Amino acid sequence: MNEVKKTLREQKFIESYIENGGNTTRAYMTINPKCKETSARELGHRMLTKVDIQVRKILDQIGFNDVYLVNKLKEGLESDNLSIRVRYLDMILKLKDMYPDDRNKVELTGKDGESIGRTIILLEKVYEDCPLKSTGRCPVRKR
């Protein structure tokens, strides 16, 4: 992959951006200390756009590559603390997109059965067998 050469100023901004945990304002103020903070916020954002920093590349530069992250996930799953193991398992399932579709979501369709491009999330459900259903006074079960 061909990378565009960065100017010295852009390279210093990238290094500062990484050192400052992704804070564009502080990174810009590092390369231009006389700049006011309000201006540095906007100019830092512009510089970030200009240098086109990719998050994956930054993570790799600071040592958070795929192998490192997988090892950390494994460590979390081997924890003695059950709640920590559950959180790590939850994260792995989310990363692998292994959760079932949300059953509380309903896609709206038109009379022809075609999707109208809207989805609603049900927050409560009326009990199906409620004798008061016709009166509108049925208790609802919160989800």
| Residue range of the domain that includes 75 | 66-95
**Within a domain: 3:** no
**Within a domain: 1:** no
Q: Give yes or no for residue 143 having a pLDDT over 70.
A: no
Domain shared by 91 and 77, yes or no: yes
Domain shared by 55 and 70, yes or no: no
Q: Supply the pLDDT for residue 135.
A: 67
* Rounded distance between C-alpha atoms, residue 86 and residue 90, angstroms: 6
Domain shared by 12 and 44, yes or no: yes
Domain shared by 21 and 51, yes or no: yes
Count of CB atoms situated within 10 Å of the CB of 103:
8
At 22, which amino acid appears? G
Domain shared by 53 and 70, yes or no: no
Per-residue DSSP letter, 54: -
At 5, which amino acid appears? K
The domain total for the chain is 3
Is residue 53 within 8 Å of residue 14, measured between CB atoms?
yes
pTM over 0.85: no
Domain shared by 13 and 57, yes or no: yes
**Within a domain: 36:** yes
Q: Supply the pLDDT for residue 142.
A: 47
For range 88-96, the mean pLDDT: 84
Domain shared by 44 and 78, yes or no: no
Query: Measuring CA to CA, which residue among 30, 18, 26 is closest to residue 61?
Result: 18
* Rounded distance between C-alpha atoms, residue 49 and residue 31, angstroms: 16
Which distant-in-sequence residues (6+ apart) come within 8 Å of 69 by Cβ?
none
Domain shared by 55 and 73, yes or no: no
For 52-81, the pLDDT digits (tens) are 766 667 777 778 788 888 899 899 999 999
Per-residue DSSP letter, 35: S
Rounded to 10 deg, the angle between the 37-51 and 24-31 helix axes is 100
* Rounded distance between C-alpha atoms, residue 56 and residue 34, angstroms: 31
